[in-house]
Structure 1
Amino acid sequence: MTDPWTQAMQTMTAAMRRPVTGAATRPYDPLALFESMARFGASFDPAQVFALQVDAAREWSAFWANVWTPVADKPKDRRFAAPAWQEDAWFRAIRDGYLLASAQMRRLVAQGDGDAKTQAMANFLLDGWLNAVAPTNFAMTNPAVIEKTIATGGANLMQGFANLMEDVTSGKGIVTRRTDPDAFVKGETIAATPGQVVWQNDLCQLIQYTPTTPDVAAEPLLYVPPLVNRFYMIDLQPKSSLVKWLVDQGRTVFVVSWVNPTEAHRDKGVEDYVLDGIVAAIGVVRQRTGATPDLFAFCLGGTLVAIALAYLAAKGRSGEVNSATLIGSMVDFADMRDWSAFVHEAHLTALEGHLERQGFIDSVELQQLFAAMRANDLIWSSVVNHYLLDQAAPPSDLLYWFEDGARIPAKFLTSYNRRLLYENALARPAGFEVGGVAIDLAAVATPVLSIALKDDHVSAWSAVYDGSKLLRADFILGGSGHNAGVINPPAANRHGYWTGSERPATAADWLESATRHEGSWWPHWIGWLEAHGTGKQVPARVITDGIEPAPGSYAKTA
């Protein structure tokens, strides 16, 4: 058996033989970051800065006066969960000093007088720096790492460095091993609900799932996922699969599975995905079932569904969709929080040049962006576990799905970024066109339910609430975050959700008067579908003409 030191040396040697490649272009403009920070730095009022300095001096005096005094309440920060951060005076002082300095720096940045995008960029850069310099990320200031290093004689750090070399030379940049890549097999242990691909074109496959009940609701369900990830977030392991749960509830479920684009798809834009993807899939579902479908969609998929609904309304075809449920989806992009830092003229220009070169944005680049926005969860926790503690990446179905990303075509991303994000075209009547048809969300007569997630870091729930008013949608608020809040099976009895019949002007006012419920929002959603359906049952729709088994080849193509 090879000892840890020899194994680490072998891993490092193999890793360092692999060439490290650099991209010819970047999907962002680094100069814009420095220019924004220079303008932001010049915007401070000296009197305000002086007042903050006085407050900081007072806070540090109190800190040092009480540094050895234990405090009863420990901060709610998962990075400092180890007992030593609370029980050991030395580590407690390091923790509290870091948290105090972080709070002071955030107060300083909040005093800057910049526009929303500049403020967002300043917050993003500050948070990135503060997350990077956290004491938990360094061997000498992390008690768990110190303990492991003593126990292994330093072998954990040696092997951790080998792990770092292997990841750096993989070409994927930011920490890549957040989960075990071999823990699941698509179609067997994940994305394994039985079904068949029943239709396809060059943009998507349409999957129909095998019924498990003798009768089903008359209205079929059609799911539209975002482009950035594969569809099967709603079909993870059987215990957490929304698809399986819906089928077991007596629903006929169809799912759009987008192709993973290549350079050949560079000219596929928003219009193509709406018309040749969503609208075409609606037609196939109607033809196969003889019924009008209920659509449901997640994130960007919901934005595209809203466009499709407005297109059908303008064409006098609203009756082709019975209802639509948009989960964590934005249609009004006036408030993008920290994401607005990237919706910047210079960044968009740089991205367009990058897209022109390769024809698409790569899934790794998209994962790096999402990871940077949630650095503590998706970068630094892996740095500690993988590089300092030498812990094997744990199996996680959600992280497996997250890392199984997909590319986005150049034309789609260019028009989406410019027209929908930067110009917020959907918030204006006739501000956007599809197939020569003006898109006006106010013209949508289809019943719509908007579901936001309270801790959503991608689509802030208050922004989803604001957008829901453009569609005159019903609204509920689920607990947890952008992904985990969707995967909330009733058996887990987690997260909770809020409902309210009033629609006040602000999201904060809505939440103040809303009613909180325990458990999952899934059953509540089924109740909403039933309230907007015919209530009829039909014999289960057996599949006799499948092209290939679910999850289909599009979901498996790298």
Structure 2
Amino acid sequence: MSRPAADLPDPVALPLDRMVNAAMARLTAGVSPLALPSAYLDWGMHLAMAPGKQLELLRKAHRKMTRFGLYAAHCAAQGGHDGACIAPLEQDRRFSDPAWQSPPFNLIYQSFLLTQQWWHNATTGVRGVAPHHQAVVEFTTRQILDIFSPSNNLLLNPVALQQTINEHGMNLVRGLGNFIEDAQRSLLGRPPAGSEDFRVGETLAVTPGKVVLRNSLIELIQYAPTTDKVQAEPILIVPAWIMKYYILDLSAQNSLVKYLVDRGHTVFMISWKNPDYGDRDVGFDDYRRLGVMAALDAVSAICPQQKIHATGYCLGGTLLSVTAAAMARDGDDRLASMTMLAAQTDFSEAGELTLFIDENQVTFLEDMMWEQGFLDTKQMAGAFQILRSNDLIWSRIMKDYIAGERPPMNDLMAWNADQTRMPYRMHSEYLRRLFLDNDLAEGRFRVDGRPIALTDLRLPVFAVGTEHDHVAPWHSVFKIMRLTDTNVTFVLTSGGHNAGIVSEPGHPHRQYRLAHHDEHDAYIDPDRWLAETPTQTGSWWPAWADWLAAHSDGMVPPPPLGNAAAGYPALSAAPGEYVFVA
């Protein structure tokens, strides 16, 4: 029986709604205009109905004003003050210069920190507010306050003010030149100043190798051996599709690929195509089939009879875990081990990035991507910069435009400016199935129509988290310990999401913790793990290389670059073609 015409969906309604949202997204940089008002409305209405909380905030305000008044009186009586009525958070370095301890600047920054602390108390702990809304309100309020930080004001910042006096304002002249240059580069779509000194294939991504597979989604690079014999099992690296692969093959001194090759490993690397409008309907499963599975088939043909050490970085690790679980379910035993580098499998506590991900925001993003066919690089970069606004926005403004000083560009910064897009369908599926619904951790994620479970994995796992990761917090990465029934070696290394992974031997001030957990060991929570696991100095790379060797079958002659007879000829020299697609 056919449905009445009145019950059929209007073919115009949905496209019209999407067009309106997409047009609005151009004005809001992709942020839903309903996300913030709904969060603040939830917080404000519950705060209005909480007289106890209001009284508590009044008492806190009175105590802070009293503390500040006593502190100011001491400063006036002594002509200065050695102490402080409030100390910045450990990671807050804005007021670390001794000049901030001189009046009146000590009073200025102390009053700011007290205000910031009061607003934190005001935006948290309000009963009845949805946890997501509370996190959004607290985060957004903190970002607004940071705009008005005295460290960002020339007249209130003693360091910037003294430099301006000493240089008779020439720092501001240089800063204006820097601003004009950056504005021109942004309008013309050119990379940041200094990027010209770092060129892919010349100074970056120069480890020798050959492209041995090219399809509509990936190029697979096989790197040339540098040792007479190699470990029997090759390594396949799956980077995230939101980044160019060569973060793991930067300069010669900090290339993870070169380090592995020099340690006697055969290394394969996926280089993802930078999608455009024509790739709008490429989905998450296409990335699994045409990406990881196609690469595994090629590696198996070039290194026959050998199992494979699979390694995934960031979202590439999440994709790898999905692929490995599906392979385990289907009896495909080609993997010798799985390494996860700053990669999440449970997204229930995925850090401040989830502030940008709820039903409202995802729907808005979907409509924006529906129109343009992909998520643009600037939209992704903006979200990551906001997460670390003090380091990536305000400190840069003060250095570049007030101090007039250009920090020297390095290879990691040049790579970070070489961004990629994400297809509409794939990114929508990723956000909904993993971030919003957490299907992988909760056993609902389907591959080829059937659910997969990480508990099916029986191969050894090496997982790496980084201490200061704003993208994949290490507590979230640690959840692989609870989601699998296999041997897991977990490493927590110093640094952030990128710098913690690109942590070559000899890099100063690097340290890590490492512990092995057998499948029969009782689960321990991450905080207890942190307290019980000793710190080791240096890079975690040698520990991983030793772990790989311990899970290998010994040394064999190096395989050829490609296997033309099996359909995988050497097509071109590394770094291939896809890495150059802007």
**Contact 2:302 / 2:560 at 8 angstroms: preserved in 1?**
no
Residue equivalent to 2:239: 225
Q: How far apart are 1:216 and its partner, in Å?
A: 0.6
Confirm whether residue 316 of structure 1 aligns to residue 321 of structure 2. Answer: no
SS of the counterpart of 2:396? Answer: helix
Give the deviation of 1:134 after TM superposition: 1.7
* Residue of structure 2 in register with 1:444 after alignment: 457
Q: In the alignment, is the contact (CA less than 8 A) between 1:117 and 1:343 conserved in 2?
A: no
User: Which amino acid letter does the alignment assign opposite residue 434 of structure 1?
Assistant: V
Taking the TM superposition and a 5 Å limit, the aligned residue runs for 1:191-340 are 191-290=205-304, 291-317=306-332, 319-340=333-354
C-alpha distance in structure 2 between counterparts of 1:167 and 1:352, whole Å: 30
What RMSD over aligned residues (CA atoms) do the two structures have, in Å? 2.4
TM-score for both structures, normalised by structure 1: 0.90
Q: Please give the residue correspondences for 1:116-127 in structure 2 after superposition, counting only pairs within 5 Å.
A: 116-127=131-142
- Is residue 234–residue 487 contact of structure 1 (8 Å, CA) maintained in 2? yes
Mapped to 1, the partners of 2:294 and 2:415 lie a distance apart of 26
Secondary structure, counterpart of 2:464 in structure 1: strand
Q: Which residue of 1 aligns with 2:523?
A: 504
Counterpart amino acid of residue 60 in structure 1: F
Aligned equivalents of 1:463 and 1:414: distance in 2? 21
Q: 1:49–1:499: structure 2 CA closer, same or farther, 3 Å change rule? A: farther
1:33 maps to what in 2?
36
Cα distance in 2 for residues equivalent to 1:286 and 1:273:
19
Gaps in structure 1 of 5+ consecutive residues: 1-20
1:181-200 maps to which residues of 2 (within 5 A)?
181-200=195-214
Asked if the contact 1:123/1:338 (under 8 Å) is kept, the reply is no
Whole-angstrom CA distance in 2 between matches of 1:553 and 1:82: 47
Offset, 1:166? 4.9
What is the aligned partner in structure 2 of residue 12 from structure 1? none
Residue of structure 2 in register with 1:530 after alignment: 549
Deviations 1:273-321 (A, max 9, x none): 011100110110111112221011111110000000011112211x111
Indicate whether 1:110 and 2:118 are aligned: no
Assess if the C-alpha contact under 8 Å between 1:309 and 1:446 holds in 2. Answer: no
- Alpha-carbon separation, structure 1, partners of 2:29 and 2:436: 19
1:60 alignment partner in structure 2: 68
How many residues are aligned here? 533
Q: Which runs of 5+ in 2 are unaligned?
A: 1-23, 563-568
Deviation at 1:170, TM superposition (A): 5.2
Does the CA contact (< 8 Å) of 2:185 and 2:191 recur in 1?
A: no
Counterpart secondary structure, 1:78: coil
Q: Distance in 2 between matches of 1:132 and 1:25?
A: 18
Distance apart, 1:157 and its partner CA: 2.5
| Pairwise CA distance, 1:165 | 4.7
Match of 2:539 in 1: 520
User: Structure 2 CA distance, aligned partners of 1:494 and 1:546?
Assistant: 40
In structure 2, relative to structure 1, the CA distance for the partners of 1:322 and 1:22 (3 Å cut) is closer
Say yes or no: does 1:71 pair with 2:76.
Answer: no
Matched AA of 1:556: F
Q: In structure 1, how many angstroms separate the alpha carbons of the residues matched to 2:202 and 2:191?
A: 22
Distance 2:336 2:139 in 1: 41
Choose the corresponding residue for 2:160, options 135, 145, 154: 145
Say whether 1:554 aligns with 2:566: no
Range moving further from structure 2, 263-272 or 435-444? 435-444
1:202 & 1:530 partners in 2: Cα distance?
A: 34
1: CA distance, partners of 2:386 / 2:28: 19
State the Cα deviation string for residues 116-138 of structure 1 (Å, max 9, x = none): 21122112202211322221212
Counterparts in 2 of 1:468 and 1:261: CA distance versus 1, 3 Å: farther
Deviations 1:348-368 (A, max 9, x none): 111010010000001111111
Give the % identical residues.
Answer: 33
- Describe the SS at the equivalent of 2:468: coil
Q: 1:543 to 1:40 in 2, by over 3 A?
A: same
User: Using a 3 Å threshold, how does the CA distance of structure 1 residues 59 and 541 change in structure 2: closer, same or farther?
Assistant: farther
Q: What do residues 322-348 of structure 1 show as CA deviations (whole Å, max 9, x unaligned)?
A: 111001111111112322211111111
CA-to-aligned-CA distance 1:79-114 (integer Å, 9 cap, x gap): 23434224x333333232222322222222222332
Q: Contact (CA 8 Å) 2:489, 2:515: kept in 1 or not?
A: no
Determine the structure 2 residue equivalent to 1:543: 561
Match for 2:370 among 336, 356, 366?
Answer: 356
Shift of 1:393: 4.4
Aligned mates of 1:49, 1:241 — CA distance in 2: 55
Cα deviation digits, residues 363-403 of structure 1 (max 9, x gap): 11111110111111111121111221222242121111111
Contact preservation (8 Å) 1:177, 1:382: no
Residues 26 and 354, structure 1, Cα contact 8 Å, conserved in 2: no
SS at match of 2:42: helix
Matches within 5 A, 1:398-547: 398-429=412-443, 431-472=444-485, 473-492=488-507, 494-501=509-516, 504-534=523-553, 536-543=554-561, 545-547=569-571
**Which amino acid in the other structure matches residue 64 of structure 1?**
A
* Alpha-carbon shift at residue 506 of structure 1 (Å): 1.8
SS of equivalent to 2:225 = coil
CA contact (8 A) 2:64 2:114 kept: no
- Secondary structure of 2:38's aligned partner: helix
Tell me the distance in 2 between the aligned counterparts of 1:389 and 1:450. 41
Deviation, 1:176, is 9.5
